[in-house]
Amino acid sequence: MASERAARRMPVILCIVAALMLTMAPLPDWADSFRPNWVVITMIYWAMLLPRTYSVGTAWVVGLVLDVAQGTLFGQHALALALVVYITVKFHLQIRVFPISQMTATIFAMLALYQFVLFWINGVAGINSPAVAYWGPVLTSTVFWPFVSAIFGNIRYRVHSRS
């Protein structure tokens, strides 16, 4: 029973680890401002589909790991990610039935909220960054959302078809 539960959780954990690795992968300076928020879209997807398993607590822990990995203020990504995942869990039943265009627009709004929280925390701390550093990832993450959603849907289908 416990091994079956662990086998079902392993693909999701691997997706989160892969998102963390993509977030930490080096990019050229010109492309770094447009790095998608891999961790955020991964957490939104799994919180939307499995809200009882991957919720605010998971988002908080993943956000703390992201803070340590990127060397930012401790807790800033955790707070922003927990807020976005809370909204996702709160409205997961409505978001799941949206057509892909409306879901993408909703994801855009949640990514903008995430970046706004980071912008606000950095402003309070006196850290200045160019606007493209905040809004570039929102645009690229929104563009990648339908593809990431399709890939994760395929992973989820394969895991459930094996059980």
Question: What pLDDT, in 10s, does the model give residues 76-110?
Answer: 999 999 999 999 999 999 999 999 999 999 999 99
Confidence of residue 25 (pLDDT cuts 50, 70, 90): very high
Average pLDDT in the 63-68 region? Answer: 96
Task: Provide the percentage of residues in the chain whose pLDDT is more than 70.
Answer: 96
Domain tally for the chain? 1
Identify which has the larger pLDDT, 91 or 3: 91
Two tokens at 54? 């991957």
What pLDDT does residue 1 have? 59
Q: Which domain holds residue 114?
A: 2-24+33-162
Closest by CA to 10, choosing from 64, 46, 39, 56, is 46
Look-up: residue for tokens 């993509």? 22
| pTM across the whole model | 0.93
Task: Show the CA angle centred on residue 134, arms to residues 23 and 69, nearest 5°.
Answer: 30
Distances (CA, A) of 125 to 69, 71, 119, 155: 19, 14, 10, 40
Q: What DSSP state is assigned to residue 130?
A: -
Distance CA 41, CA 39 (A): 6
Average pLDDT in the 28-42 region? Answer: 94
Confidence of residue 6 (pLDDT cuts 50, 70, 90): confident
Task: Provide the percentage of residues in the chain whose pLDDT is more than 90.
Answer: 80
